[in-house]
Amino acid sequence: MDNAAMEDVWVPIIMFLTVGAIFILFFYFRFRTRREFQQTLRIALDKGAELTPDVLDRLGEPAQPKTADLRRGLFGLFIGIAFAVFGLVLGEEEAMRPLLAVSAFPFLVGIAYLGLWKFRE
């Protein structure tokens, strides 16, 4: 096999392994956070602390700031704009259309988050 053929094989393999590793790390750290939360509850129960539903809600889920959807929306919006500008700057027809298509997803997700922020109670 020549060098170009080896590159054609390894690039997708490395890409999918990287995406898999990111998901594994995300779920591992989420699992670890929940395990530490449960250990905290066990210690509190062993010491005789009273755990009301309000306390459990505050301990279980960190409070989301009211501007979280605004930040996510702006981030998605500008990521979409960045992909679109990148495609336009390249100027090649073969690259422009796919990058514009890719930019539509984060752009529309950003608009959805901005709508959630605007209509949030």
Q: Tell me what pLDDT residue 29 has.
A: 93
CA 38 from centroid of its chain's CA atoms: 25
What's the pLDDT at 51? 75
Read off the pLDDT of each residue in 96-119 and give the average, rounded to a whole number: 92
The per-residue pLDDT of the chain, averaged, comes to: 86
For position 73, what pLDDT does the model report?
A: 93
Of 38 and 57, the one with more pLDDT:
38
Q: What is the mean pLDDT of residues 70-97?
A: 90
Residues 20 and 72 reside in one and the same domain: no
Q: Do 111 and 77 form a contact (C-beta atoms < 8 A)?
A: yes
pLDDT value for 61: 67
Mean pLDDT for the stretch of residues 97-102: 88
Q: How far apart are CA 115 and CA 74, in angstroms?
A: 11
Q: Are residues 51 and 84 in the same domain?
A: no
pTM of the full structure: 0.56
Domain range enclosing 121:
64-121
Residues 21 and 96: their CA atoms lie apart, in Å, by 30
- Report the domain count for the chain: 2
Overall size of the chain counted in residues:
121
Whether 84 contacts 100, CB under 8 Å = yes
Cβ neighbours for 56, distance < 8 A, ≥ 6 positions apart: 41
CA distance 57 to 45: 16
Based on the domain organization, do 68 and 12 belong to the same domain?
A: no
Of 24, 46, 63, which residue constitutes the final position of a domain?
A: 63
Q: Which two tokens stand for residue 20?
A: 């898999």
Same domain, 53 and 9: yes
Please report the pLDDT score of residue 27 as a whole number: 94
